[in-house]
Structure 1
Amino acid sequence: MEHVDVAVIGGGQSGLATAHALRGQGLQPVLLEASRQAAGSWPRYYDSLTLFSPPRYSSLPGLPFGGDPDRYPHRDEVVAYLRRCADRLDAEIRTGTRVREVLLEHGTFTLDLEGGGQLAARAVIAATGTFGRPHRPDLPGLETCTAALLHTADYRTPEPFAGQRVVVVGAGNSAVQIAAELAGRARVTLATRHPARFARQRTLGRDLHWWLARTGLDTLPVGRFLRTPPTQLVIDDGRYRTAVSSGRPDRRPVFTGIDGTKVTWADGSREEVDAIVLATGYRPDLGYLAPLGALDAAGHPRHREGMSLTHPGLAYVGLEWQRSLSSNSLRGVGRDAARAAWRIAAYLSRA
Structure 2
Amino acid sequence: MTRLVDVVVTGGGQAGLAAGYHLKRAGAEFVILDAQGEPGGAWRHAWDSLHLFSPASCSSLPGRLMPPQAGETYPDAGHVIGYLADYEQRYELPVQRPVRVQAVRRDGERLRVETDSGTWSAHVVVSATGTWWRPFRPAIPGGDIFRGRQLHTAGYSGPQEFAGRRVVVVGGGNSGAQIAADLAGHADLTWVTRREPRFLPDEIDGRALFDAATARRQALDAGLDDTGGVTALGDIVAVPPVREARDRGPLKAQPMFTRLTADGPVWADGTGAAADAIIWCTGFRPALSHLTPLGLRDRHGHIPTTGTRAVGEPRLHLLGYGDWTGPASATLIGVGRPAREMAREIAARLG
State TM-score, norm by structure 2: 0.90
- 2:34 is matched with 33
CA contact (8 A) 1:221 1:323 kept: no
Q: What CA deviation, in whole Å up to 9, does each residue of 1:171-209 have, x standing for no partner? A: 01110111111121111111111011111342xxxx635
Alpha-carbon spacing, 1:217–1:139, altered in 2? closer, same or farther (3 Å): same
- 2:194 is matched with 193
1:3 to 2:4 alignment: yes
1:139 to partner: Cα distance: 2.4
Aligned residues: 342
RMSD across aligned C-alpha pairs, in angstroms? 2.4
Is there any run of 5+ residues in structure 2 with no aligned partner, and where? none
- 1:60 is matched with 61
CA contact (8 A) 2:151 2:280 kept: yes
CA contact (8 A) 1:200 1:238 kept: no
- 2:115 is matched with 113
Distance in 2, matches of 1:221 and 1:342, equals 23
* Map 1:235-246 → 2, pairs under 5 A: 235-237=237-239, 239-241=241-243, 243-244=245-246
1:112 to partner: Cα distance: 0.9
1:152 to 2:153 alignment: yes
Is there any run of 5+ residues in structure 1 with no aligned partner, and where? none
CA contact (8 A) 1:220 1:324 kept: no
1:222 to partner: Cα distance: 2.1
Q: Pick from 287, 291, 294 the counterpart of residue 293 of structure 2.
A: 291
Could you tell which deviates more after superposition, 187-196 or 228-237?
A: 228-237
Distance in 2, matches of 1:25 and 1:76, equals 31
CA contact (8 A) 2:309 2:316 kept: yes
1:117 to partner: Cα distance: 1.5
Could you tell which deviates more after superposition, 325-334 or 216-225?
A: 216-225
Matched position secondary structure for 1:283: coil
1:247 to partner: Cα distance: 4.4
- 2:135 is matched with 134
Q: What CA deviation, in whole Å up to 9, does each residue of 1:239-291 have, x standing for no partner? A: 53553465414421111111222321232112221000000011111110011
Alpha-carbon spacing, 1:245–1:201, altered in 2? closer, same or farther (3 Å): closer
Q: Give the percent of matched residue pairs that are identical in Structure 1 and Structure 2.
A: 37
Distance in 2, matches of 1:245 and 1:255, equals 25
CA contact (8 A) 1:10 1:34 kept: yes
- 2:274 is matched with 272
- 2:19 is matched with 18
Task: Give the AA of the match of 1:208.
Answer: D
Could you tell which deviates more after superposition, 221-230 or 245-254?
A: 221-230
1:26 to partner: Cα distance: 1.1
Matched position secondary structure for 2:212: coil
Could you tell which deviates more after superposition, 236-245 or 78-87?
A: 236-245
- 2:205 is matched with 208
* Map 1:37-186 → 2, pairs under 5 A: 37-67=38-68, 71-114=73-116, 116-186=117-187
Matched position secondary structure for 2:342: helix
Task: Give the AA of the match of 1:161.
Answer: F
Q: What CA deviation, in whole Å up to 9, does each residue of 1:19-51 have, x standing for no partner? A: 111111110210000011221100100000111
1:327 to partner: Cα distance: 1.6
Task: Give the AA of the match of 1:98.
Answer: R
CA contact (8 A) 2:69 2:79 kept: no
1:137 to partner: Cα distance: 1.2
Matched position secondary structure for 1:160: helix
1:107 to partner: Cα distance: 1.8
* Map 1:295-314 → 2, pairs under 5 A: 295-314=297-316
CA contact (8 A) 1:167 1:191 kept: yes
